[in-house]
Amino acid sequence: MTPQQKAVVVQLGNLLKEKNLNTEYRVSTAIFAEFARNTANTFGIVPTPGYYTPMEMQVSKARRNALGEALVTTAEQFDEQADELKTEWGYYRDIVVELMETECDFRVSTYELRSIIRKVIRGSIDYRQCQDHNDEVKRGIKRAKYLKKVKLGDPLRNGVSDDTPVYEFTDAMFDDHIPEFNNVLFIGHQLRVVKDNDDNTYSIQKLNGTWKYLTFTENLRDTVLQLPKRLEDAEKRAVREAIDLSKKGLSIANDLFTSSEVLALANAQGVELPEVSTFAVCRVSANGREPYKTIASGEVNETTAIYVAEKNLSFSDALNLCNMMNKQLIHENAVTRFTNAVNTAQELLESNKKDLAEAQQLQADFVRQLEEFRQTIVEVAQ
């Protein structure tokens, strides 16, 4: 070992001993604890890193905060200088762990040391860790704190049979978890949870004239945990749909929100709903059998429309015209198909008549020949 390598090994051993990190498990646990502290929501649920939720920056920050910048930097320096201190299998040679033991009183196996260094340098958050942590959090959630059973006769039970359990959310659901509802405008209003006795699931419903389905969960704990995100998704979806409906001059209300509520949602989300557009009825393919479609008049060009039937119509007029032209197209195609079938049948009939006439002639000739042969053999017999 060079003096520089010895110095790095001793420094690394001292830092690992100081933090009591003599196994990969302890390193992993320290990183995850910091990750959970920084990312958990008010319920204690942590996000699960994955393809759709990459969290490299959060994991890297947690690793450096949990282990310390000095340990991470020293481990990186050690790994860069330690090629000749490794066996052909990638483990560190005995001289490394022996030096840590004599100089630092830090005992670790060569196998464990390799795992520790890898985790310190490139430590990641395991999906299983997040799942186990979240499962533990779920088990600790008290249903009675967030959900209250609705008694018979309460208006919240309208439309539900007496033997079906119904729950309402308590004030604690919203008062104790304000950050989870930061992106939700209509919080806690006119909501209930109804159990489906057939498949033992629960549906969250929102009152909008009548009770409308919002989402379903497999248990009451998930109902509590998923409510903020489901409300946020429903409000964002309502605004997205309203943009298209506004262009068409149609009502922007949906199952969950009235028109005025959707306008309030759009305003809260900083979205300005577009003015009513005019529409054209076009065929977007040169194939005469392709149906007509309705598209915004401003989007009609040579690349989007081969044939334009009408432009500058209201959406309802364009839609009605489009439906009628497509029905006409269907009838035209049917007439063409049956005409071709009739023509084919007539050609086949003429051919069959010709074949019939030939067959009848052959039959007559054969009958005549047969009769002549009979007469001949009768004369001979006599």
Three-state secondary-structure class, residue 312: strand
- CB 38, CB 58: distance < 8 Å: yes
Structure tokens at 91: 């483990």
Which pTM value belongs to this model?
0.71
Q: With a cut of 80, say whether residue 298 has pLDDT above it.
A: no
Starting at the earlier edge strand, list the strands of the sheet with 210-217: 147-149, 166-169, 191-196, 201-208, 210-217
DSSP assignment, residue 26?
Answer: H
pLDDT score, position 263: 93
What tens digit of pLDDT does each residue of 75-104 get?
998 888 777 777 777 778 888 889 899 999
Sequence length of the chain is 382
Q: What angle do CA 141, 147, 153 make, to 5 degrees?
A: 160
Locus of tokens 């809260």: 268
Which of the pair, 205 or 95, is modelled with greater confidence?
205
- Going 197 to 201 to 206 to 211, the CA torsion angle's sign is negative
| Beta-strand relationship, 279-283 and 166-169 | unpaired
Question: What mean pLDDT is reported for the chain?
Answer: 89
Q: Taking residues 198-219, what's their average pLDDT?
A: 93
pLDDT of residue 304: 61
**Do 68 and 75 touch, CB atoms closer than 8 A?**
no
pLDDT tens for each residue of 232-269: 999 999 999 999 888 888 888 999 999 999 999 999 99
For 21-47, the pLDDT digits (tens) are: 999 999 999 999 999 999 999 999 999
State the pLDDT at residue 299. Answer: 76
3-state secondary structure of 282: strand
Output the pLDDT for position 207.
92
For residue 245, CA distances in Å to 98, 234, 249, 262, 320 come to: 73, 16, 6, 11, 16
Closest CA to 70 of 129, 27, 8: 8
As a whole number of Å, the CA-based R_g of the chain is 40
Rounded to whole angstroms, how far apart are CA atoms 276 and 242? 11
The residues, ordered by sequence, that sit 6+ positions from 176 with a Cβ below 8 Å of its Cβ are 42
Give the CA distances from residue 317 to residues 283, 308, 312, in Å, rounded to whole numbers and listed in that order.
16, 15, 10
Mean pLDDT of 121-141: 91
The predicted-structure confidence for 300-337, as pLDDT tens digits, reads as follows 775 566 778 888 888 888 889 989 988 988 898 889 89
Q: Above 80 in pLDDT, residue 13?
A: yes
Q: How far apart are CA 74 and CA 11, in angstroms?
A: 7
